Amino acid sequence: MILARVVGTVVASHKEPKMEGMRLLLLEKLDPITMNGKNDFVVSVDCVGAGTGEVVFYATGSSARCTKQTEGLPSDASVIAIVDAIEKDGAFTYRKSQ
C-alpha cells in the first residue's frame, strides 16, 4: 500500500465500458513522517468514497484489482482506505481530526 493525499478528480468522458461509473482521483504520494507531498502523482480508481484533501492508501498492480469494485477492471491503482491516523515511535505524524 502507498500513502497519498487526494489532490483532485479526473474526468474521462470516453473510457473502457467496464470503467463506466468509476470515480477517478488524482493522488499525490506522501512522505509518512513529514506528510509532505513528493510531487509524484497517480490517477486511481476510488473504492472507498475518498474526498479531496483526505489521506488515503492505494494499491497498485494486480492488488488494485482485488476489490469488489475493481475485479476485472483495467485499473493499475485503487484507493482502498481512508487514513485516520499515523503513529511512529509513540508520536502521531498524522491525525485526520487535526
Predicted pLDDT of residue 87: 94
pLDDT tens for 37-94 read: 999 999 999 999 999 999 999 999 878 787 777 778 888 999 999 999 999 999 999 9
Predicted pLDDT of residue 93: 92
CA-based torsion, 98, 33, 28, 25: positive or negative: negative
- Cβ(22)–Cβ(73) under 8 Å? yes
Predicted pLDDT of residue 97: 83
How far is Cα 67 from Cα 78, in angstroms, rounded to an integer? 9
Domains in the chain with CATH codes: 2-10+22-86 (2.40.50.220)
